[in-house]
């Protein structure tokens, strides 16, 4: 029997959506946390057919079970029509809680559904954080295979990861009819992996994929809607310099990036490893932001002159600049961009993360071993309090 690993996700008392890519452990967490809840699993073919043909069926179930106060509808995006009935139930049954999981909001939006008009809170579920795994966390393993619970618990992680990508192409893309040419979309996934951690150039991507820019824009929106990747905006608040305007792109998990990224004689392992490390840090920061509930937004900072800081966390009580270096030693040039940022924003706290083993303060900047930082990063804690 597999050991259940406690997650940092905190659930609200009201009804809520819980969105996250497949394999992040949403269903496992819900079964463990709410064993007595009534569960409607729309991945089950028979259940799906019953509810898609009769959206009012959920109302009949609730009325027939007055003793049950909590209902879980798994993968609700497969049957958007259910939301009208659930909206009505939330209004009628004030003491009940309805939990709706999803791995994509695309069909909900395309169907004109407004996510229950705010009647249910919107939450997000992420791959494991290092601190959730504790002593089971390995930085090298995380960079290689990622932190999806489905992959972490697999006997053959690499093969399972390959199957995971194929499953997304088959079930989420092909069967849902999101694209006409699945082969072209699969090539796009490989090409977009070269943009992981980089500013997007859609024209170049279109040329590499031999499709139009408009198709690439559509493919990118599918990636975002399936929660497989996201854009990171530029931090421009009170900018004193001329800033770039284009966002950077990241795949949601370091293992997914590592698996998708093609390799050849001209590819530098250090460069690929550096992008994987950067993405691993970002997926932790995004989980920390979502799980902390602090209304903190993650950005990056880049001037037209070439100075760049990998991540900026900004919120009412948070202002951090973080630079990630895939190196075991700290060189003076590694601190240049973060020093430039601090000149413009002296209110910020700065951290440089690197592959060394000692926590240091260099020129007033905290330099922290990245694996130790990730293990210390927990929702609700101030990042700077642990420096």
Residue in 113, 102, 78, 112 with CA at minimum distance from that of residue 16: 102
Q: Are 219 and 188 in contact (CB under 8 A)?
A: yes
Phi (first) and psi of residue 133, to 5 degrees: -80, -25
Phi (first) and psi of residue 206, to 5 degrees: -60, -40
d(Cα 379, Cα 123) in Å, to the nearest integer?
Answer: 14
> pLDDT, tens digit, for every residue of 207-261?
999 999 999 999 999 899 889 999 999 999 988 888 888 999 999 999 999 999 9
Beta-strand relationship, 38-41 and 70-74:
parallel
E-assigned strand segments in the chain: 16-19, 38-41, 70-74, 97-102, 121-124, 198-199, 229-232, 248-251, 297-302, 308-315, 318-324, 349-354, 360-362, 365-369
Q: Are 235 and 300 in contact (CB under 8 A)?
A: yes
In CATH, 16-124 is 3.40.250.10: no
> pLDDT, tens digit, for every residue of 8-23?
999 999 999 999 998 9
Domain ranges of the chain: 16-124, 130-386
Alpha-carbon dihedral of residues 79, 223, 202, 264, nearest 10 degrees? Answer: -150
* 8: its two tokens: 């940092």
d(Cα 344, Cα 353) in Å, to the nearest integer?
Answer: 21
Would you state the pLDDT for residue 214? 94
Residue at token pair 């270096």: 325
Q: Can you give the pTM of this predicted structure?
A: 0.93
d(Cα 211, Cα 216) in Å, to the nearest integer?
Answer: 7
Whether 317 shows a pLDDT value over 60: the answer reads: yes
């Amino acid at each position: 029997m597999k050991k259940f690993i406690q997650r940092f996700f905190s659930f609200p008392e009201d009804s809520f959506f819980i969105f996250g890519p497949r394999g992040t452990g949403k269903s496992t967490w819900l079964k463990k946390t709410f064993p007595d809840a009534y569960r409607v699993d729309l991945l089950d073919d028979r259940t799906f057919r019953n509810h898609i043909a009769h959206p009012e069926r959920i109302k009949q179930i609730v009325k027939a079970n007055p003793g049950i106060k909590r209902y879980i509808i798994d993968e609700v995006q497969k049957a958007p029509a259910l939301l009208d009935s659930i909206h009505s139930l939330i209004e009628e049954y004030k003491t009940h809680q309805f939990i709706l999981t999803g791995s994509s909001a695309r069909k909900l939006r395309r169907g004109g559904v407004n996510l229950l008009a705010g009647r249910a809170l919107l939450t997000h579920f992420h791959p494991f954080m290092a601190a959730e795994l504790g002593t089971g966390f390995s930085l090298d393993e995380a960079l290689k295979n990622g932190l999806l619970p489905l992959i972490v618990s697999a006997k053959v992680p690499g093969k399972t990861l390959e199957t995971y990508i194929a499953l997304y192409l088959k079930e989420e893309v092909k069967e849902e009819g999101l694209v006409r040419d699945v082969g072209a979309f699969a090539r796009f996934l490989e090409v977009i992996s070269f943009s992981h951690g980089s500013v997007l150039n859609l024209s170049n991507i279109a040329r590499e994929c031999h499709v139009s820019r408009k198709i690439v824009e559509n493919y990118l929106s599918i990636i975002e809607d399936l929660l497989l990747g996201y854009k990171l905006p530029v931090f421009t608040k009170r900018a004193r310099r001329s800033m770039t305007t284009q966002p950077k792109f990241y795949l949601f998990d370091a293992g997914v990036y590592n698996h998708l990224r093609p390799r050849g004689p001209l590819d530098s392992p250090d460069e690929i490893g550096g992008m994987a490390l950067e993405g691993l840090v970002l997926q932790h920061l995004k989980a920390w932001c979502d799980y902390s509930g602090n209304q903190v937004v993650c950005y990056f900072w880049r001037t037209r002159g070439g100075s760049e800081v990998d991540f900026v966390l900004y919120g009412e009580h948070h202002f951090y600049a973080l630079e990630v270096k895939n190196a075991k030693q700290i060189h003076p040039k590694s601190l240049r961009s973060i020093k430039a940022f601090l000149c413009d924003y002296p209110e910020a706290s700065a951290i440089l993360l690197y592959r060394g083993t000692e926590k240091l303060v260099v020129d007033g900047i905290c330099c922290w071993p990245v694996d130790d930082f990730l293990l210390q990063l927990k929702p609700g804690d101030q990042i700077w309090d642990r420096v």
